C-alpha cells in the first residue's frame, strides 16, 4: 500500500504543480476569466485517465490466462519505461517547466477558446495516463498475494488526495517544500519500485510462455518469508518482492536497478541553475 501511496503522491504532486502554475500565471496576468478553460482541460484529463485505468482493469478479463499474463507483463514493462523517463525528466528539466508552461499559455490564450483547454488537458493528461498505467502495473503485482484486496488502489488514491492538498497549500503560500529534495528522494524510491514491477512483468511473460525459465529459481525463501504474513505483504506491496524468484527475474531486477540508480545519482548531482518552479500566490506576491 505504501508503494502505491508514494506513486500517487509523487505523480499527483507533479500534476498539481502543473495546474498551480497555469492558474497562478493566468491570475497574475489578469486573465482570471480564462480559468474555466483550465479546469475544463483538467476535467477531461482526469476523465481520460480514469477511462484508461478502467480499460486496463476490466478489458483483459475475458481473455485466456496466457493472454492476460502476456498483456499484463507487456504493459508492466511499458509502465516502467514511462516512469523511468519521467524520473529522469524531473531530475534534469524541471527547472524550465514553469517558463515552458507560461509560453504555451500565452500562445493558447490568443488562439481559440479550445486551445487553452487543450494545453491543460495535455499537461495534466500525460501525468494522469502515466500514473494510471504504472499504478495498474504495480497493483497487478501486489494483489496476486492478496486477491481482491483494495489496499493498493486505496493507497494510490490517498497519495493523490495528499498531493492535491499539498498543491493547494503551496499555491496559497501556506507551506514551503524543497521540491528538488522531494523529487530526488521519491525518484530514488520509485526506481526500486519500478525494478520490482519490471521483474514481475518478466514473471508474467514467463507464466504466459513468452519467456523461458519459469522453473529456474534463483532462490526460494517461501519457508522463511511467508507471502501471507505481514512482512511478506509489506515486501510484496512496497517492492513487489517474490519469495520464489526466477533467475531471469533476479537478473532483470539487478540489470535495471544498478545502472538506473547510478545514472539517476549522476543526474541529480550534476550542477544546474536553481529550479525555477515557483507557485505564485493569487495576489501576485511571492
Q: Is residue 274 part of a domain?
A: no
Domain contains 65: yes
- Number of domains into which the chain is organized: 1
- Percent of residues, the chain, with pLDDT higher than 70: 77
Query: Residue 277: pLDDT band by 50, 70, 90 thresholds?
Result: very low
Q: Please report whether residue 286 resides in a domain.
A: no
259 falls within a domain: yes
Average pLDDT score over residue span 195-208: 90
pLDDT of residue 47: 92
- In a domain? residue 211: yes
CB 3 within 8 Å of CB 238: yes
* Residues 209, 252 contacting (CB under 8 angstroms): no
Check: pTM over 0.75? Answer yes or no.
no
For residue 259 the three cell numbers come to 545502472
Rounded mean pLDDT of 59-87?
83
* Domain interval for residue 255: 2-269
Chain-wide mean pLDDT for the chain?
Answer: 78
81, part of any domain: yes
- What does each C-alpha distance from 125 to 22, 39, 45, 113, 245 come to in angstroms? 14, 12, 4, 19, 35
Band of residue 286 on the pLDDT scale cut at 50, 70, 90 = very low
Amino acid at each position: 500500500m505504501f508503494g502505491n501511496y508514494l506513486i500517487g503522491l509523487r505523480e499527483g504532486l507533479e500534476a498539481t504543480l502543473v495546474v498551480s502554475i497555469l492558474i497562478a500565471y493566468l491570475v497574475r496576468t489578469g486573465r482570471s476569466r480564462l480559468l474555466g478553460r483550465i479546469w475544463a482541460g483538467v476535467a477531461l484529463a482526469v476523465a481520460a485517465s480514469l477511462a484508461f485505468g478502467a480499460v486496463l482493469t476490466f478489458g483483459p478479463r475475458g481473455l485466456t490466462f496466457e493472454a492476460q499474463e502476456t498483456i499484463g507483463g507487456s504493459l508492466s514493462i511499458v509502465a516502467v519505461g514511462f516512469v523511468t523517463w519521467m524520473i529522469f525528466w524531473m531530475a534534469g528539466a524541471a527547472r524550465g517547466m514553469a517558463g515552458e508552461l507560461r509560453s504555451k499559455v500565452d500562445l493558447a490564450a490568443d488562439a481559440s477558446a479550445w486551445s487553452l483547454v487543450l494545453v491543460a488537458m495535455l499537461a495534466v493528461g500525460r501525468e494522469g495516463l502515466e500514473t494510471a498505467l504504472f499504478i495498474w502495473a504495480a497493483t497487478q503485482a501486489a494483489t496476486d498475494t492478496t486477491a481482491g484486496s483494495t489496499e493498493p488502489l486505496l493507497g494510490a488514491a490517498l497519495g493523490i488526495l495528499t498531493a492535491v492538498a499539498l498543491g493547494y497549500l503551496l499555491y496559497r503560500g501556506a507551506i514551503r517544500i524543497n521540491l528538488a529534495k522531494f523529487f530526488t528522494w521519491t525518484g530514488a524510491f520509485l526506481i526500486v519500485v519500478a525494478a520490482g514491477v519490471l521483474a514481475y512483468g518478466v514473471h508474467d511473460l514467463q507464466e504466459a510462455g513468452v519467456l523461458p525459465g519459469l522453473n529456474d529459481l534463483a532462490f526460494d525463501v517461501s519457508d522463511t518469508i511467508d507471502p501471507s504474513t505481514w512482512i511478506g505483504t509489506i515486501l510484496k506491496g512496497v517492492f513487489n518482492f517474490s519469495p520464489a524468484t526466477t533467475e531471469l527475474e533476479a537478473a532483470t531486477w539487478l540489470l535495471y536497478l544498478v545502472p538506473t540508480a547510478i545514472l539517476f545519482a549522476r543526474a541529480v548531482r550534476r550542477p544546474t541553475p536553481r529550479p525555477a518552479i515557483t507557485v505564485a500566490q493569487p495576489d501576485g506576491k511571492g
